[in-house]
Amino acid sequence: MKLRIASALIAGLMISAAPAAMAQQKAAAAPASTGPVANGVAFANPSAIVGSSAAYQTAQQQRPTTYKSQIDQANTRSQQINAQLKPLADKFQADQKNPKADRAALQAQLEQIQQIQEDGKREIQQILAPLSLSEQYVIEQISDKLADATQRAMTKRRATIVLDVQSVVKADPSSNISQDILTELNALIPSAQLVPPAGWMPRAEREAQAQQQAAQGQQAPAAANNTKAPQGR
């Protein structure tokens, strides 16, 4: 196996000051026609609508201030880890150029560097976890209003069905009601709460927890019946 250290690893832990933002496109510009869509069939881009909403954009602007202490802590810790990694990476590169270098020793050096990097990334992610949870909380609040916003836009544009843009191969641009939905969404939820309440979990985790509790509740009576003491004659 070739012992080569990736340039990204040499550079150290290049972390962002905040979790990766929700990948999104901008919602389409308002269609030229505001009348009924052709044949009642429209399409939209839900993720772009949520990401373009006023509530989401405002939260993105507020989060660096609200969570400044976590961001500063993550940046400081990242610099410390980078400082720890650099001399190890420099030594590895220098030793690697030696044709008589012990390959087992090089492998050990590489594994040490990779382990420090992986541990560091996990630590940074843990520090920034409140920011990630905040973003999920904001997105969930906005998404909860998306169905109502879509229905309002459908009523105004006389659409009977709305397809996700990802399933559309080709269509008349005037059938794109993303901007219509965005307008309705901004009216329904102009802003969102940035900081989740204590103990809040994303919907997927809540549902998984509820299913687990329900399964445990079903198992409990069965276990009680199986352990019931036998009656004497």
Give residue-wise pLDDT tens across range 64-87.
999 999 999 999 999 999 999 999
Contacts of 65 (CB under 8 A, 6+ apart): none
Q: What is the per-residue pLDDT across 99-157, written as a single tens digit (0 to 9) for each?
A: 888 999 999 999 999 999 999 999 999 999 999 999 999 999 999 999 999 999 999 99
Q: For the whole model, what pTM was predicted? A: 0.80
Partnered with residue 163 across adjacent β-strands are 43
Q: What is the per-residue pLDDT across 152-181, written as a single tens digit (0 to 9) for each?
A: 999 999 999 999 999 999 989 999 999 999
Q: Are residues 165 and 209 in the same domain?
A: no
145 lies in some domain: yes
Q: Are residues 148 and 51 in the same domain?
A: yes
R_g over Cα of the chain: 27
Q: Are residues 164 and 216 in the same domain?
A: no
State the residue range of the domain holding 59.
Answer: 37-195
CB 148 within 8 A of CB 142: no
CB 113 within 8 A of CB 11: no
Q: Are residues 71 and 184 in the same domain?
A: yes
Q: Work out the mean pLDDT of the chain and round it to a whole number.
A: 86
Q: Which sign, positive or negative, has the C-alpha torsion 61, 66, 69, 70?
A: negative
Q: Are residues 125 and 158 in the same domain?
A: yes
| Nearest one of 201, 91, 183 to 137, comparing CA atoms | 201
- Alpha carbons 176 and 165: distance in angstroms, whole number: 8
23 lies in some domain: no
Sole residue written with tokens 């979990």: 201
Contacts of 231 (CB under 8 A, 6+ apart): none
Q: Are residues 157 and 181 in the same domain?
A: yes
Please state the domain count of the chain: 2
10 lies in some domain: no
233 lies in some domain: no
